[in-house]
Amino acid sequence: MSSDVTKSLEQVYTPYPYHPGHSITLRDSNGNEFSVDIIHEYSFTISPAVVVNLHEDGAIREAVLKLYDRRFGELRKRREPDGRRRPQPHTEESEAAFQDFARSGMLGPVLDRLRHADLMWDLYRQVCTPPDEEDEEMKPERERLAEEEAEFYYKIQKRYTREVRAYGKLKCLQGRGIPRFFTAVTLQMPSAPPDLELHYFQVPGILIEKINGFNLSNLVTEMPAGPPDLWAEIVQKATDLAVEINRAGVLDGDSQPRNALVTRREDNTHQVCRIDFGEASLESDLKFRREDEPDYFKQCAATSSNPDALGLVMAAKVKRLTGVELDIVFDEIFPGIDGLP
C-alpha cells in the first residue's frame, strides 16, 4: 500500500514554474547573479518564453527570457507501439532515473551515441538506425525513462547552442530584423545533486529584446481591414528578411510565419522581426560537411527555401482567408546558384 502511494507521488508531473508573479535567479555569462520578475508568459512549443522585468541601476527594463528546460515543452515525446508520439512529462521518477543513470556512468555513452548519430547525419545524410521498438519496450521502464531524459537534455542543449550562435552570426541584424541579444544566462534547477556534474541540472537561457507586435501568421485577423497592399508589404518584408538571414550565413530550420513578429512603428510603418533560431545552422557547419563543394551552403539555402516558407505560405493563407492574391517578389538568395543536385 505505502509503496503504491510513493510510486504515484513520484509520477506526479513536475509543475511548470514560469508563471507571472514568480521571481527567478539567473546567472549571466560573467557569473553574476541577479533576479528577474516574470510579468507575462507566452504560449510556446519547445522553449518557455516569458517577459521579465530586469532591475538595472534603479531602473526597470523589460526583456524576453527564453529558456531551454529539458523538463518542459514538446520535445518530450515517447514513441508508442502504434507509432504515435505521446507527451512524456517530467516527473520525480524520470529525474531520479536520469540521476541514477549519470551516477552509474551510463549517461556519457548515451550522449556520445546521440552526438554520433548527428554527425553521421551531418556528414553523410545517413540516418543511424534508431533503437528497435520491440527492444525498447522490453527495457525496464526505469532505463527507458533515463535514456529519454538524456535525449531531452541533449536535444535542448543543442537548440540553445544553435540559437546563441545564430544571434552571434546575425549581429548585423540585431535591433532591426531580429531582437537585440542581451546575455546568455543559466538558471539552477531545484535540488541539483552535489555529486553530479552541475550542467545537467542547469537550465540555459537567453535574455533578448522584447518585440511588441503580433505573430505574422495572424496577419489577417490582426489587420482585418488590410488594405491588401499593406498585407503584401508586410509579407514582402518577411520574405526579404529571410533572404537577408541566409545571405548573412544562417540557414533556418524553422522558417515559418509563427516565428515572425510584426510591429507597428510610431510613423505607422510596419517592421518584421524574426525570432526562434533553435534549429539554425551556420555556413561554417555546412562547409565542414562538404569541403570539396565551395557553394554547398548556398545550394542548401536555395534548396531550403526559407523565404518561401514565409512568403508563399502567407500568400496562400491570405488567399484562403480573403480571396486576395498577394504579389510577392522572391529574390534569388544567391544569384546563379541552384539548389542541391
Ligand X SMILES: Nc1ncnc2c1ncn2[C@@H]1O[C@H](COP(=O)(O)OP(=O)(O)O)[C@@H](O)[C@H]1O
Smallest separation, CB 157 to Mg ion (Å): 18
252 scored as a contact of Mg ion (CB under 5 A):
no
**Closest to Mg ion by CB, 68 or 98:** 68
Rounded to the nearest 10 degrees, the angle between the axes of helix 306-322 and helix 228-247 is: 170
The full DSSP string for 275-293 is ---TTEEEHHHHHHH-TT-
Q: How many CA atoms lie within 13 A of 297 on its CB side?
A: 19
Euclidean distance between CA atoms 108 and 106, whole angstroms:
6
**Closest to ligand X by CB, 239 or 259:** 259
Query: Residue 280 binds what, of Mg ion, ligand X, none (CB under 5 to 8 Å, by partner type)?
Result: none
Interface residues toward ligand X, by CB under 6 A: 42, 44-47, 49, 64, 66, 179, 208-211, 258-259, 261, 275-276, 278
Smallest separation, CB 111 to ligand X (Å): 22
Q: Which residue is nearest to Mg ion (CB)?
A: 276
Query: Residue 35 binds what, of Mg ion, ligand X, none (CB under 5 to 8 Å, by partner type)?
Result: none
**Closest to ligand X by CB, 69 or 148:** 69
Euclidean distance between CA atoms 235 and 220, whole angstroms:
11
Work out whether strand 49-56 and strand 33-41 pair parallel, antiparallel, or are unpaired.
Answer: antiparallel
Of residues 101, 276, 283, 309, which one binds Mg ion by CB under 5 A? 276
Based on the number of CB atoms within 10 Å of its own CB, is 236 exposed (0-12), middle (13-18) or buried (19 or more)?
buried
Of residues 239, 259, 304, 306, which one binds Mg ion by CB under 5 A? 259
Smallest separation, CB 29 to ligand X (Å): 19
Euclidean distance between CA atoms 169 and 192, whole angstroms:
33
Smallest separation, CB 5 to ligand X (Å): 35
The site for Mg ion (CB under 5 A) is made up of 259, 276
